[in-house]
Amino acid sequence: MNGLILQGFEWYLPDDGNHFNHLKEKLEELKGLGITAIWLPPVFKATGTNDVGYGIYDLFDLGEFDQKGNVRTKYGTKEELLSLIDKAHEVGISVYADVVLNHKAGADEKEKFRAVEVSREDRTKVIGEEKDIEGWTKFTFPGRDGKYSEFEWNHQHFSGVDYDDIEKKGGIFKLTGEGKGWSWAVAGEHGNFDYLMFSDIDHNHPDVRQEIFYWADWFINETNVDGFRYDASKHIDAGFMDDLENHIRANIKEDFYSMGEYWNGDNQTLIDYMSETSGNIDLFDVPLHYSFYSASHSGSEYDMRTIFDNSILKTNPTIAVTFVDNHDTQLGQSLESWVKPWFKEHAYSIILLRDEGYPTIFWGDLYGIGDGTLYGGMYDKLTKLMELRRDYAYGDQDDYLLDANTVGFVRKGDDDHPGSMAVVMTNGDMATLSMNVGEDQKGKIFIDALGNNDSKIQIKDDGYGDFHVSPGSVSVWVEKI
């Protein structure tokens, strides 16, 4: 099966509580297009219904309790969530939940504790005296009133906060005292990148470990989700992540799927993290995304032969979750690195039609962003590529990476999908690339299924065809039926 993930949200979805229902209505269409899994946005109560979900408040509130101004989350109620998951399973689509375990936000009460301020640029550098500060670290969840878990969070369960209410001052404040400090099994950016935002969870505290392990048991059994997408992985202690993954596989679901957002463009750093987490967490191919971004902004100056350099797809393809853009890279967001629209068809052809990787379709690329005025998406082009993946992306793969501007590859099909497919793309002028689609295809007429080139190519006796591509375009050649 050609597995294909839909990232089932983008940043600017309306705050109307209807998204779970909207997704449910699309499930059969998505299944028909070849979607095998949906990555949901964070389904937990956040700081308010206008929160995309990463300002996480209560992991046990899935839109069930009157907290933070409403019962529902941005996307709907718990009942609607469970109905969506049940329907997805009914049509044969897996569901991955976006889980936020790095921090908590929207505390119910303030507490006084000892801390030091550290530099934003270098979190190992102390820039103030140890002193009493007052921070929002007490989480009592009064609206839930102890249902599912009676655990209450306090300052001992955190390693850092972003505000001192005594001096009414923002910053990064590291808690002090016995056993306190940043984890060192995190990314090394800014000296130490344990702290990201809000109240930073101390994953080495035994009570925290016990509560999160208990929550994972409860959440997976309560919702029957098939996997996790871990937010902010590089900010969380890698040993904790490894222990959590081993716990889930040993005690809940042996075949549970996990993918991690470790946002780093360096391939070796990602390989090291994979080793630290026992290879149990697939990783988003951030280096490949940056190659797409660079190619889209460089035009014909970009050497297309290098597009896979430094990517996980090239070095560790079995753990590569490939993507073109997502909610963080879209315009106006924290990791903005938007692939220009002219190159998106190239990029999606690469991740959808090649043999390697577990590709992800971004909601914003499929259906547009916001009300469509920010970006209208590429529904017609993308659904055609999804259909081509479903019908032709099988069997042996031969690469033709011979020219700086024009590259291609061929898929030879298999017993169940006997048709060959030739993909050719250029970031320069009109070009022709000779590729072999197999002697069994001789005499057949191939056309561009994307409609970007109106030629008809007859396959020669030796299996070769001279496949054309229009300027700055991509063509996918298959037999004319």
Catalogue the active-site residues.
Answer: 231, 261
Phi, psi dihedrals of residue 205, rounded to the nearest 5° = -75, 130
- CA–CA dist 135, 163 (Å, integer): 6
Kind of pairing, strands 320-322 and 464-469? unpaired
> Given phi > 0 = left and psi -120 to 50 = alpha, else beta, which region is 379?
alpha
- CA–CA dist 169, 273 (Å, integer): 35
Length, in residues, of the chain: 481
Contact 88, 97 (CB under 8 A): no
The closest of 395, 402, 381 to 476, measured between CA atoms, is: 381
Alpha-carbon distances of 45 from 14, 51, 107, 226, 432, rounded to whole Å: 16, 9, 12, 20, 54
- CA–CA dist 261, 7 (Å, integer): 13
- Full DSSP string of 325-391: --TTTSTTSTT--PPPHHHHHHHHHHHHHSSSSEEEEEHHHHH-BTTTTSB---HHHHHHHHHHHHH
- CA–CA dist 107, 201 (Å, integer): 13
The number of angstroms, rounded, from the C-alpha of 376 to the middle of its chain's C-alpha atoms is 21
- CA–CA dist 358, 390 (Å, integer): 13
Secondary element (H or E) of residue 36: none
- CA–CA dist 266, 442 (Å, integer): 43
Contact 435, 410 (CB under 8 A): yes
The closest of 341, 432, 326 to 98, measured between CA atoms, is: 326
